[in-house]
Amino acid sequence: MSLIVLLSMKKIIVICLSCFFGSLFTIHAQLVKQKVGSDAKHQLTLLGGINFPSFDIPHSIGPSVGLAYSYYFIPQIGIRGMLHYHYFDGEKNIPAIYSHTMGACVQGIFNFFSYQSGRPEDAGFSFIPSKAYLVAGVGGLYHQPYINGNSQHSDLSFSIPVGIGTRHPIARRWDIGVEFAWNVSSSDRIDQQVVSESTNDSFGNLFLTATYKFPKHNYGPTRGKQFQNRKTKKCDKRKGCAVAFD
């Protein structure tokens, strides 16, 4: 009796695993077939938000902004370059310590979730994200610190930025979203304080994002000739109007 139950359980497990992996392959095939995002390989994103410093000396929350350009090789995978600025506010300390930090980074993008409705009535804002993504890469940071209003020796460091975000469509070419990122620095001098046996300085970001998706254009010579030699063909009642304009 127990052997029969065991065999039944094995069959159920095999069927469940087959359905699970089958659904994954089906979803992947649909994404490839639909080419979600294929008409928007080039995208420009404006980021604005706040930073959360994790330094040896306590700092308050400060403002951060960024500008990123993204290119997608396929709908799920892309690369982006980003310029960003951060104000690290430590003016409540004695002495008052604050810094202006500028950075640049290159990150890989992985869209682990993609959704695109084909219905015209869904062209506005949607709570369902069009993309949920992970980013990770390498970059550099330039720090200009101040103590009591007096500039100190500037500092250069490497950084490893990682993050996760979502994007929600508000128009055909525009998305808004939220992104959380964490930047690990190779320096322990952003706050002008080096503490032995402490970790390097790092900081988090919470951004609101606005993304413009550049439309796909074909400026090749073939398309130019088509527009130069426009022809109107009569409709065949059996086949329909296959071509009205080239």
The count of domains in the chain is 1
Non-local (6+) Cβ contacts of 87 within 8 A are 51, 62, 63, 64, 98, 99, 100, 101
26 located within any domain: no
The boundaries of the domain holding residue 64 are 39-213
Tokens of 82: 């980003």
Q: What is the pTM of this model?
A: 0.69
231 located within any domain: no
Q: Considering only CA atoms, which of 67, 209, 185 is closest in space to residue 133?
A: 209
226 located within any domain: no
245 located within any domain: no
84 located within any domain: yes
The per-residue pLDDT string of the chain (246 residues; one tens digit each, 9 = 90 and over) reads 444 544 454 455 456 445 544 544 444 444 444 444 345 799 999 999 999 998 877 788 999 999 999 999 998 999 999 999 999 988 887 788 888 999 999 999 999 998 766 555 555 666 788 889 999 999 999 999 888 888 888 889 999 999 999 999 998 899 999 999 999 998 877 776 666 667 788 999 999 999 999 987 655 555 545 444 444 555 555 555 544 333
pLDDT of residue 6: 42
65 located within any domain: yes
126 located within any domain: yes
114 located within any domain: yes
**Helix, strand or coil for residue 34?**
helix
Residue 188, judged by CB atoms within 10 A of its CB (0-12, 13-18, 19+), counts as buried
Residue 157: CATH number of its domain: 2.40.160.20
Kindly list the distances between the CA atom of residue 223 and the CA atoms of 35, 226, 228, 232, 237, in Å, as whole numbers in the listed order.
Answer: 22, 5, 9, 16, 28
